[in-house]
Structure 1
Amino acid sequence: MRKIDRRIVIVVSVIFILGLAYGLMRFLIAQKEEPPVRQTIESRRFVRVEPVKYTSISSSISEKGRLSSIAEVDIVAEASGKIEAGTVTLKKGASFSKGDVLFLVYPDEAILSLKARKSQYQNILAGILPDLIIDFPEAEESFSQFFATINVGKPLPPMPEIEDSKLKIFLASRNVISEYYNIQRDELQLQRHTVRAPFNGTFIDVYMELGAFTNTGGKVARAINTDHLELEVPLKRSEASWIQKGDPVTISSEGSYTWKGKVIRKSQFVDENTQSQTIFISLPYDREQPLMAGEYLVAHFPVRPIEGAMEIPRNSVFNSDEVFVARSGRLAKERINVIKLNASTLIFNGLPEGDSVVVQQLINVSEGTLVQVDKEAASQQMQPGGPGGGPQANPAVQPGAGENKKEQSAKKARNK
């Protein structure tokens, strides 16, 4: 019995001690003062803004392009044989004029074959002349003159006109007509042994040297026309849409030379590598300031006014067509209508006039961020002289502010 009472006393004592400790802990916690809660202060971002005001903006396009010839052709041999020298040096970079003999393809054999055929033709005509005197006396004189004017070293003279059907049958039966046209074909074939320049130009590559043997259709050289050049200017498709066929263009080089050109065509496809549309500009030949194919020039396209638009820096636009505007001291997102992209600026419309559009790049900000307008920039924009206007008074520093503070402290001391 005593053992049971003793256990009860021990249990009650432990519970009492634990309760006392818990109550003491709660008392001590209640005596501790709560730390003051710091109020969160929302920071302000200084931003530069411009009031939205639409005007007429003159926008130009300048881009570099490569000069190329309007004619770049392969010079091929139209006959087979050994390549012989003409009046022009058959070397890369050699220049020539229209009609110059570029090279010959061994014509001696073709010349002798043609002379032999003309001689045989004379033999045919000599055999029919007695028959013409008897059967066709009215045609005898014309064919006698035709026979007398044939020279084996010169082109065939024109054949007399044949109106009589019987005479035509007679001449056809003696191969007079067919042989005449066969000789004319051989004369054309002989001309193909002499290759002449189709335009004023230069060789940009030579595939065969003098003395080499070429087959019919073999490539001998590659040439370009140096009198008529055109400038190929790649533009973004959005910029190319502003260019029209026939527009005048000013061309400039690094040497401060300028030329006048004209847009002659626009490519109707986009380059798959550069995603650009090519504009072709024709340039006249200028002997005082000669141009050369392959050099790079800058094309300045005409200025076109854009009505009802505004220009801002490109880095102030994000997501391709969104900007921040400052309203009631906070940022708000707005979409704009992008009209044209320049190198560092952008022309747009779509915002209500009078809004304050942010004209600087903002990082780590979101819609609703508290902002304060950069007053120095704003005052320069609002002053009638721009940045050169008169100085503005700083509202944070007012005259006499130091004197008012001194008077207030003196009154407090007298009251004490």
Structure 2
Amino acid sequence: MNFNRTSRLFCSLAVGIACQAVAQDQTPVSVTKPLLDANESRFQFTGTITSERVASLSPRVAGLVAKADAEMGYSAKAGDVLVGLDDTLARMELREEELNLEAAEADLINSKRRLDEAVNLGDANFPRSERENRETTYRMAQIAVSRLETLVATQREIVERHRIIAPFDGMVAEKMAEVGEWVQTGNPVLRFVDTESLRLDVQVPQEQLALVMGSDTVMVEIAGSGEKAFEAHIEARSPQVDPQTRTFQVRIQLDNSSPNVKPGMSAVAIFKPSSEDASVFITRDAILRTADGQVMVWVAESSGGGFKASRRIVQTGPTSGDYIQIVSGLQPSDQVIYQGNELLQEDQAIRIVESVIPIERER
């Protein structure tokens, strides 16, 4: 008899029987990984759209409204005339000062000519005292011209102040005076709004401080504008929390605002966490309860070249279809047992017969 051959055959049979015994001791299970859903973790805050620049325009001089064509909704560019006051008297005074200036300039020219004559003749042919008198006359004429130039410039400014002009590109939001009304300085005549540079102010609870501080962009939805949700930039965050409401203000710059977006509209700012902070969902088949009522799942862990069952106590959130949210107790990389999990024991050897990749769940 060939003992070597018999020994090898016996060993092969022994190993096969042992492997079969080990396989029989391993409980077959099916596993899946948690489904990540950042949309479930998003936070929405409603706020009001405001303009960066809103101006209450009032006249710089008192007067009678002579022109007021800028009605509510009127668009204007910076420098456009919105309201005109009656400037008849101011223009008449301006004309008078302009005539005085013309006369003074003529007198200056004549004084300069007479002084030049005296200088050209020289002291030998022209009395010194007379030349000095002409120098004084010329100097006084220069002063008179300078003074009248100032008066003309002042009167032109007074005429200009009879107009109310647009301080920036925008639109008339409210008109508060009509033609024929007398208006005083400091009393608003128009409310003018910059409709291009818009922002959204929202109040965020202090519990979401970390979420907001870790993000520079948000999605904005504006109901009734006909516009799709768009990305916007966080311009500023309030440095303090309101002690009454326990909220802090976040200001969002609406870079993608359209003509349909107006100041005063309501809008929603949607803050989404990073993928690391996304909500975790698992199939409801994986959920079990302990004798004391705690919610648990079984997870497949590596063990000596195989796998073993490990119990995890979890906290659950809302249910959505066949999935349930796991608030705590699971990691996105865990292999969750959802079939063959009914009779498992801690550290029990298991054999993975099926590994399912989760797909996006229906909403």
Q: TM-score, normalised by structure 2?
A: 0.58
Partners in 1 of 2:312 and 2:100 — Cα distance? Answer: 98
Residue pair 1:240, 1:279 contacting (<8 A) in 2 also: no
Match of 1:243 among 212, 216, 227: 212
Aligned to 1:77: 59
Q: CA-to-partner distance for each residue in 1:282-303, whole Å, 9 max, x for gaps?
A: 113555x631111112222353
Q: Is 1:356 matched up with 2:338?
A: no
Q: 1:109 to 1:235 in 2, by over 3 A?
A: same
SS of the residue corresponding to residue 211 of structure 1 reads coil
Q: Is 1:292 matched up with 2:274?
A: no
Q: 1:271 to 1:183 in 2, by over 3 A?
A: farther
Partners in 1 of 2:317 and 2:153 — Cα distance? Answer: 80
Q: CA-to-partner distance for each residue in 1:48-101, whole Å, 9 max, x for gaps?
A: xxxxxx999965433222111111110111111111224x333x4444343332
Aligned to 1:104: 84
SS of the residue corresponding to residue 219 of structure 2 reads strand
Q: 1:175 to 1:99 in 2, by over 3 A?
A: same
- The gaps in structure 2 that reach 5 residues or longer are 1-33, 118-134, 282-288, 295-309, 319-325, 345-363
Q: 1:278 to 1:204 in 2, by over 3 A?
A: same
Partners in 1 of 2:271 and 2:342 — Cα distance? Answer: 46
Which amino acid is the alignment partner of residue 101 of structure 2?
Y
Match of 2:50 among 68, 72, 83: 68
Partners in 2 of 1:354 and 1:168 — Cα distance? Answer: 110
Query: What's the offset of the Cα at 1:384?
Result: 6.0
Aligned to 2:234: 263
Aligned to 1:301: 271
Aligned to 1:175: 144
Q: 1:186 to 1:256 in 2, by over 3 A?
A: closer
Aligned to 2:11: none
What root-mean-square deviation, in Å, do the aligned CA atoms of Structure 1 and Structure 2 show? 4.2
Residue pair 1:285, 1:291 contacting (<8 A) in 2 also: no
* Higher Cα Rg, which structure: 1
Query: What's the offset of the Cα at 1:238?
Result: 3.4
Q: 1:179 to 1:295 in 2, by over 3 A?
A: same
Aligned to 1:133: 113
Structure whose residues are more often strand by fraction: 2
SS of the residue corresponding to residue 150 of structure 2 reads helix
Aligned to 1:365: none
Partners in 2 of 1:209 and 1:189 — Cα distance? Answer: 21
SS of the residue corresponding to residue 99 of structure 1 reads coil
SS of the residue corresponding to residue 293 of structure 1 reads coil
Residue pair 1:230, 1:280 contacting (<8 A) in 2 also: yes
Query: What's the offset of the Cα at 1:116?
Result: 0.7
Which amino acid is the alignment partner of residue 235 of structure 2?
I
SS of the residue corresponding to residue 167 of structure 2 reads coil
SS of the residue corresponding to residue 168 of structure 2 reads coil
Q: 1:331 to 1:208 in 2, by over 3 A?
A: same
Q: 1:299 to 1:115 in 2, by over 3 A?
A: same
Partners in 1 of 2:254 and 2:51 — Cα distance? Answer: 10
Aligned to 1:218: 187
Residue pair 1:245, 1:263 contacting (<8 A) in 2 also: no
Q: 1:310 to 1:210 in 2, by over 3 A?
A: closer
How many residue pairs are counted as aligned between the two chains? 256
Residue pair 1:172, 1:178 contacting (<8 A) in 2 also: no
Identity of aligned residues (%): 18
Which amino acid is the alignment partner of residue 356 of structure 1?
I
Query: What's the offset of the Cα at 1:132?
Result: 0.9
